[in-house]
Structure 1
Amino acid sequence: MAVSELPAWLASVKAEYVESRIRAGESRNESQANADASFNRFFPGGVPVEGHLIFRVCREDESVGYLWIGPQLDSGPDKWWVWDIEIYKQHQRHGYGREAMILAERTAKQLGASELGLNVFGYNTSARALYESLGYEPTSIRMAKAL
């Protein structure tokens, strides 16, 4: 992704992240605080920390989504993470998510990763199915019950 595209992308992705955390059970204030902390950590001054890569996922010249990958900052340079991936709604179910994940795996491996992890919100069953079909397995499960 071009540096000139980052400010608009960051604003959009951060807003989506807040809404996802709310949908997963956090209050708006908790969600906003968590998003602020995360984005300040990974995009100081509006640019990604070293080693983090943001791709536009494209079909010909049309953007159909994005992918953000990079090493986990606290786990060593060989433990990588899919920090965010989205295929825009109108382009889902055409194989772009699968191809983006294959790109993530290939790129991370070329850059020294021995593992690629990700988080998926429990309500996102279609994404979970895609990741499982690619060989990803749960490593922890956080559960909650509204009272």
Structure 2
Amino acid sequence: MPVVLRVVDVSRFPAWLVRAGGEYVAGLAAAGHSSVDAERVVSERLAWAFPAGVPTGGHAVFDVVDTDGRTVGYVWIGPDATDDSGAWRVWSVVIDDDKYGRGFGRAAMHLAEEYARERGATSIGAQVFGDHTSSRVLYESLGYSAVSVKMRKIL
């Protein structure tokens, strides 16, 4: 399914921060973080990436828009948090639940990778929570490979 990436308007950015932050906290909590720790991690990460409350330092947030002009999700992409200036990361890609399985995520990932490449990226990474099997399958089909795996057993 063809899509375009449209920069999230600065007037809508505060609402995006609330949505993305909430989704990130929920993902961390589902992965075993305490709610306090999840809130702290998300607060620190968002403050690092968006110190002025808007994208800076190479970070960009896009709506994923279908051919009918409807927003079907979003992508946040930017430099990785390493010293490697060529390393970029898809910090978050979310396709609305009722739009899953239509190719929007795959198309958005291709466009995000192109965006990063045009800005000097030589590699790109993504982090996937363990329960997001479909996301792992998508990333692997796009050529991503695991570089680290964190496992846990509840006792």
Normalised to the residue count of structure 1, the TM-score between the two structures is: 0.96
* Distance in 2 of aligned mates of 1:106 and 1:45: 26
> Which of 127, 141, 145 is the aligned partner of 2:149?
141
Distance 1:145 1:35 in 2: 24
Matches within 5 A, 1:61-140: 61-140=69-148
The alignment status of 1:37 with 2:44, answered yes or no, reads yes
- Identical residues among aligned pairs (%): 41
Structure 1 Cα separation of the partners of residues 81 and 113 of structure 2: 18
Number of equivalent positions: 147
Gaps spanning 5+ residues in structure 1: where?
Answer: none
TM-score by length of 2: 0.92
Q: What is the aligned counterpart of 1:27 among 18, 34, 37?
A: 34
SS at match of 2:102: coil
In the alignment, structure 2 segments of 5+ residues that lack a partner are 1-7
Distance 2:9 2:128 in 1: 26
* Greater relative contact order (Cα < 8 A, sep 6+): 2
Q: SS at the partner of 1:45?
A: coil
- 1:3 and 2:10 are equivalent in the alignment: yes
